[in-house]
Amino acid sequence: MIRELAVKNFKCFESLKLELRSLNVLMGLNGMGKSTILQSLLLLRQSNQENGLSWLKLNGKYVTLGNGSDVLSEKAEDEEIGFFIKEDVGDFSASYEYVQESDLLPKHDLKYDIREMGNSVLFGDRFVYLSAYRIEPRILYRIADEKQISKRNFNNNGELAIHYLNLHGFQNVENDCVIYNSIEDCSLNEQVRCWLSLIAPGILPQISVNVALRNAELKYAFREGKEKTNAYKSVNVGFGITYVLPVIIALLTAKQGDLLLLENPEAHIHPAGQRWLGELIARASAGGVQIIVETHSDHVINGIRLAVKKKKISAEETGVFFFYKDEEDDCRHKVTLPSIDEDGRIDIWPEGFLDEWDNALLELL
């Protein structure tokens, strides 16, 4: 588990340190630095996979950030970009030199006492990332080899999650915290159906794979009372159902000790479904999965708050980070931490934090 993250002179942050928890919710207006936090982690993982962190590789598998001039903070007092991460298995720190027109920044200093990099949640195999650009409905989806799938490598857009569900849907979900209403059938197939039904009632995903052509077809049937409809291609069913499917699969298959990064999981989902998605995120985290989620949804937050109130996750395990610009301090990007108590109540409400409903209502009145 990552306990602490600090960055120096990286993008909008001259200096920032966050103490992370099991569930970490990043909120704030657009352009305040939420994505920068995720990008710092993705950039380090990307660089480690490419060159063992000897260089900071700005463009690659996880992120495309441009060149040195795009990532050095405008308020930097020196031309050095630095990172510090404290994990349960040890600490890691690195700094890199600024090269204006290059997308490879040379190492200045690198120190770590992580006993084995493979045990690191950031650098090892216990890592899943789903970007805001997830799979959309289409006729066919590509599939990968079973070895890659078995590691829950779903790709950034979650495309390979469909193949994973086809191969491993019969297996039981290991995280007891996410089992829907404690039903007896703990298979991944059934749990996906249960949670997906909260977003689209009665939905039944059906997957067929053509191994020879290396593709998969995704269809949905609907349960109507005791009957089941014909299966329809994903392109003929609501966009949001396919968009959220990899998120649900990732949350249900995550195991204790995993690290899961999610960008805007609520995209294209009805508010009622967003609320249940928030609860699923909280329950997955309660089972020992560290989750860092970027969201603009007050419904996702309310689902998490309700999970705290219902004792599905403790308030101490839940952290909310609100990013903003401090106009009184030369518009520096900063973060404040509204706290959720055991009844799901939030202690402070800074301007711009879940207040748009009240602002609009006041104008209507």
Q: What is the DSSP string of 135-185?
A: ----S-EE---HHHHHTT---TT-TTHHHHHHHHTTSBPS-GGGSGGG-S-
Amino acid occupying residue 306: L
Query: pLDDT class for 269, splitting at 50, 70, 90?
Result: very high
Residue 196 domain flag: yes
Residue 208 in domain: yes
Indicate if 5 and 50 belong to the same structural domain. Answer: yes
Evaluate whether residue 72 is within a structural domain: yes
Distance CA 43, CA 301 (A): 27
Q: In terms of domains, do 110 and 146 share one?
A: no
Shared domain for 236 and 222, answered yes or no, is yes
CA angle 254, 248, 32 (to 5 degrees): 90
Q: Which of 258, 279, 298 is the last residue of a domain?
A: 258
The per-residue pLDDT for 116 is 60
- Kindly state whether residue 241 falls inside one of the protein's structural domains: yes
- The per-residue pLDDT for range 45-96, each reduced to its tens digit, is 999 999 888 999 999 999 999 999 999 999 999 999 999 999 998 888 999 9
Domain shared by 37 and 95, yes or no? yes
pLDDT for 115 equals 54
With 0-12 / 13-18 / 19 or more C-beta atoms within 10 angstroms meaning exposed / middle / buried, residue 239 is middle
- Chain CA centroid to CA 354, Å: 20
pLDDT score at 118: 64
Of 238, 258, 278, which residue constitutes the final position of a domain?
A: 258
Give dist(CA 277, CA 300) in Å, integer.
6
Percent share of the chain, pLDDT over 90: 67
* Token digits of residue 197: 């039904």
Angstrom CA distances, 212 to 100, 141, 182, 337, 351, stand at 47, 13, 39, 52, 56
Alpha-carbon gap, residue 104 to 66, rounded angstroms? 10
- Percent helix, strand and coil across the chain, each to the nearest 5: 30, 30, 40
Q: Are 112 and 137 in the same domain?
A: no
303 neighbors 274 (Cβ within 8 angstroms): yes
Q: Is residue 240 part of a domain?
A: yes
Same domain, yes or no: 118 and 133: no
Mean pLDDT of the region 341-365: 87
Amino acid at 199: I
User: 280 lies in a domain?
Assistant: no
Same structural domain, 200 and 110: no
Q: Write down the pLDDT at residue 147.
A: 72
159 inside domain: yes
Q: Among 33-37, 143-147, 171-175, 271-275, where is mean pLDDT lowest?
A: 143-147
Domain count, the chain: 2
Residues 53 and 4 in one domain: yes
Which among 158, 180, 131 has a CA at the least distance from the CA of 283? 180
Q: Compute the distance between CA of residue 255 and CA of residue 172 in angstroms, rounded to an integer.
A: 12
Q: Please say if the pLDDT value at position 358 is more than 60.
A: yes
As a whole number of angstroms, the distance between CA 124 and CA 111 comes to 17
Q: What is the pLDDT confidence band of residue 216, given thresholds at 50, 70 and 90?
A: confident
* pLDDT at position 225: 80
- 13 assigned to some structural domain: yes
Structure tokens at 187: 């298979």
Does one domain contain both 91 and 156? no
CB 165 within 8 Å of CB 149 = no
Are residue 338 and residue 354 in the same domain, yes or no? yes
Task: Look at residues 258, 291, 320 and tell me which one is the last residue of a structural domain.
Answer: 258
Same domain, 153 and 53: no
Question: In terms of domains, do 150 and 230 share one?
Answer: yes
Domain range for 184 is 128-258
